[in-house]
């Protein structure tokens, strides 16, 4: 019963609300159409579209000068208050004065100011020099002080933003109540729209412009002005953020952002590892996040048991700047921990670019080149208007000096006319008649002080007239010459870069060179036996399965030609006849039963169809040496560590020299120095010490000549002397290389590992 009564009351209220809405809609459109003919779509369009356009055009989207209306009104108020020079004033004074231009409320104005201050550190080049607590861009919880406690004035860089504003460089429009004038745009001498980041959310669209280095912006603008087809990335490779850190640089992705105005930039924190105290100090974080969010992320990881290496985390931010300290447990791999944190926390974040800018009142998403092009068009207009203003002033000044020059011929006559004129109002007409000058010129002459009516004063003014004529000609030439206007733009850009340019805060690291986090999987470690068949099948047997196994199964025409014991966590290297080395892990292959053929290596490692495995090796530490003998009689010896890589690469091209086919592969443990025996196609053999072959540092070394090739002979194999039954090995011993060898006098029993050419 209670539910039914409540439902009836709700239905009655809905009816009342709907009737009230209909009545309101009818009143709104009563003058335009009858209520029965009213269309809700038309009503929404008539009432909502003006609001949407107002937000887009007058609030959220920046214009080509790089400012939103709220920024522009605030900065212009400070400029009119004389805060470009002199002492700071209380922020409350600025907020109060700005309300004459911006009626949106004092707190909204103050929050706008906070973001533009040096103290907040949100902008790469702040516009407001601040004193007091303005919070920090990188902190969510650090609140700014009230406006009555803080003080502000304009930064010196604002001289370049307002340069020419008093010379009609931009249009001045009425404020909201028509009592004051304010600039429609600010005549900045450099592309502020690219120098400082700007974000805004409008109705149905948004803008998110990242900041770029001022020096690089000036250089790329000048380069674009001279050649529109220049490579922008060459001068300005990537954005530069006030928070510093690193950009994971992908040149092609960045080129796409420059061309389309859309895309994302990957940012990563900057940190320092203190191995002595076993801690990590994070000093710079991505611009798009805050220190509190990062600490919360890491704390959640620790609670979930995904970051067991962390003992404690604390925020040590102070007057020296941001610092997040992570205490690690003993034995922690700091780099591996940071890779994990990059993967699961905001220590690595993205900045989504959306270069949406108002151009002549219309929002447009532009690439960097298009933004520079639009800015140059607008800047040319500003310079032309400024010089036109100067030209008008100079022409008016010249006109007055022309009148002064007219009385030079007879100063006494001018004095006589003034003295003999009875009425004051007749002085100007009498001077006009006496010297044939107009009213403005006569006013100028009449206002000259008595002490200045002398020949020296007038001659000095005439000298100014000659220079003024030259300046007028030069100004007219500038206004008629696009080339000279471009030169002035370039000069202004160079001056700004020299005065206010600074080194990049955000450094670049290549994305493909950064290690990627891979989850650690608990891998069981146990002893096992690996076998490789000539057809490329890998058999992995546990020691227990081998003890109870009968005959090991292979194909009819296949056989096992090498095998050894190892552990499940070892790395596997496969050497192929195309001089490639494939890397894998033993645990990547499942255990096989004696009755199974095994894993087909060519398929598992994506080898070419005609590629075959010649040798297999397992290692855990990449210590020891590799020895490779080639058909042309040469032999190479180099450390196994040349195959150790930081990235999990499966294929190493040019794993060894390709000048001649390999005939034998040997691996020597660290400190092992066995005797070896080499045999060639002439049935000659040579016994030698392993270290007679010099150790090289590169895996592609072609080696040194071991046996001299005679009568087209080739090297057949090199193997350990201990693997061959030789009754008198000293008969075959050689002391230096290259050697000819000795004819074999007995039957040598070779192992199946010899004879790679048969595969």
Catalytic residues, by residue number, are 149
Stated length of the chain: 759
* Cβ pair 68, 61 in contact under 8 A: yes
Angle between helices 368-406 and 482-500 (to 10 degrees): 110
> How far is Cα 222 from Cα 201, in angstroms, rounded to an integer?
31
How many CB atoms are located within 10 Å of the residue 126 CB?
A: 22
Contacts of 505 (CB under 8 A, 6+ apart): 124, 240, 241, 242, 243, 244
Name the residue among 112, 141, 137, 139 with its Cα closest to residue 127.
112
| Phi, then psi, of 391 in degrees rounded to 5 | -60, -45
- Kindly provide the b/e burial profile for residues 484-517, where b requires at least 16 CB atoms within 10 angstroms of the residue's own CB: ebbebbbebbeebbeebbeebbbbeeeeeebeee
Locate 354 and state its tokens.
């959306």
Orientation angle between helical segments 368-406 and 214-226, nearest 10 degrees: 80
The CA distance from 66 to 107, in Å, is 22
Gap between the Cα atoms of 440 and 446, Å rounded: 10
- Which of the 8 DSSP states describes residue 188? -
C-beta of residue 209 within 8 angstroms of C-beta of residue 355: yes
| Dist. CA 755–CA 561, nearest whole Å | 10
| Residue 477, SS3 per DSSP | helix
Q: How far apart are the C-alpha atoms of 639 and 699, rounded to whole Å?
A: 8
Q: Which two tokens stand for residue 320?
A: 């020296």
Short-list 661, 660, 619, CA closest to 758: 661
d(CA 5, CA 354): 53
């Amino acid at each position: 019963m209670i539910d039914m009564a409540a439902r009836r009351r709700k239905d009655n209220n809905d009816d009342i609300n709907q009737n009230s809405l209909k009545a309101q809609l009818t009143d709104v459109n009563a003058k335009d159409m009858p209520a029965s003919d009213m269309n809700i779509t038309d009503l929404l369009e008539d009432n909502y579209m003006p609001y949407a356009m107002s937000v887009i055009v007058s609030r959220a989207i920046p214009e080509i000068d790089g400012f939103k209306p709220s920024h522009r009104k605030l900065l212009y108020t400070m400029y009119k208050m004389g805060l470009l020079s002199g002492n700071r004033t209380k922020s409350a004074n600025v907020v109060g004065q700005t309300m004459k231009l911006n009626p949106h409320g004092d707190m909204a104005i103050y929050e706008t100011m906070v973001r533009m201050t040096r103290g907040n550190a949100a902008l790469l080049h702040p516009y407001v020099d601040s004193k007091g607590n303005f919070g920090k861009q990188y902190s969510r919880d650090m609140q700014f002080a009230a406006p009555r406690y803080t003080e502000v004035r304009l930064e010196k860089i604002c001289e370049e933003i307002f340069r020419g504003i008093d010379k009609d460089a931009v249009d001045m429009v009425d404020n909201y109540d028509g009592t004051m004038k304010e600039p429609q745009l600010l005549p900045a001498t450099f592309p502020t729209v690219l120098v400082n980041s700007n974000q805004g959310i409008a109705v149905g669209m948004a803008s998110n412009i990242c900041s770029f280095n001022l020096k690089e912006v000036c250089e790329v603008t000048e380069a674009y002005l001279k050649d529109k087809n220049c490579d922008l990335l060459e001068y300005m490779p990537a954005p530069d953020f006030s928070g510093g850190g690193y950009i994971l640089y992908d040149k092609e992705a960045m080129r796409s952002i420059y061309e389309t105005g859309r895309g994302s930039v990957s940012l990563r924190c900057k940190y320092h590892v203190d191995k002595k105290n076993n801690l990590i100090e994070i000093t710079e974080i991505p611009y798009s996040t805050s220190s509190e969010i990062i600490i919360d992320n890491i704390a959640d990881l620790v609670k979930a048991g995904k970051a067991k290496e962390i003992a404690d985390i604390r925020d040590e931010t102070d007057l020296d700047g941001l610092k997040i300290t992570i205490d690690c447990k003993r034995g922690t791999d700091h780099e591996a921990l940071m890779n994990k944190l990059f993967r699961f926390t905001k220590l690595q974040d993205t900045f989504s670019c959306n270069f949406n800018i108002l151009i002549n009142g219309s929002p447009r998403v532009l690439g960097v080149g298009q933004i520079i092009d639009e800015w140059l068009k607008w800047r040319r207009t500003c310079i032309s208007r400024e010089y036109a203003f100067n030209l008008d002033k100079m022409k008016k000044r010249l006109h007055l000096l022309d009148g002064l020059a007219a009385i030079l011929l007879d100063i006494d006559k001018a004095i006589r006319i003034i003295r003999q004129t009875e009425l004051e109002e007749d002085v100007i007409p009498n001077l006009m008649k006496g010297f044939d000058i107009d009213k403005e010129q006569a006013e100028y002459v009449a206002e000259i002080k008595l002490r200045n009516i002398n020949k020296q004063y007038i001659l000095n003014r005439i000298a100014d007239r000659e220079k003024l004529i030259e300046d007028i000609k030069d100004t007219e030439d500038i206004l008629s010459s696009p080339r000279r206007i471009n030169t002035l733009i370039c000069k202004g850009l160079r001056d700004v870069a020299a005065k206010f340019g600074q080194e990049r805060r955000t450094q670049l690291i290549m994305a493909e060179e950064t290690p990627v986090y891979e989850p650690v999987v608990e891998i069981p470690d146990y002893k096992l036996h690996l076998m490789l068949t000539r057809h490329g099948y890998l058999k992995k047997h546990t020691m227990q399965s081998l003890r109870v196994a009968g005959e090991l199964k292979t194909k009819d025409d296949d056989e096992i030609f090498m095998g050894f014991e190892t552990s499940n966590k070892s790395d596997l290297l496969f050497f192929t006849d195309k001089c490639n080395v494939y890397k894998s892990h033993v645990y990547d292959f499942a255990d096989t039963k004696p009755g199974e053929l095994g894993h087909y290596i060519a398929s598992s490692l994506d080898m070419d169809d005609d590629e075959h495995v010649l040798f297999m090796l397992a290692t855990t530490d990449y210590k020891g040496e590799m020895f490779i003998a080639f058909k042309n009689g040469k032999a190479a010896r180099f450390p196994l560590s040349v195959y150790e890589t930081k990235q999990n690469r499966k294929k190493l091209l040019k794993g060894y020299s390709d000048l001649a086919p390999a005939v034998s592969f040997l691996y020597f443990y660290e400190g092992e120095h066995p005797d070896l025996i080499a045999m060639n196609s002439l049935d000659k053999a040579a016994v030698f010490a392993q270290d007679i072959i010099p150790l090289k540092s590169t895996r592609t070394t072609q080696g040194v000549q071991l046996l001299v090739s005679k009568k087209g002979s080739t090297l057949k194999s090199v193997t350990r002397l201990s693997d061959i039954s030789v009754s008198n090995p000293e008969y075959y011993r050689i002391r230096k290389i290259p050697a000819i060898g000795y004819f074999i006098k007995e039957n040598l029993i070779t192992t199946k590992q010899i004879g790679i050419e048969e595969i």
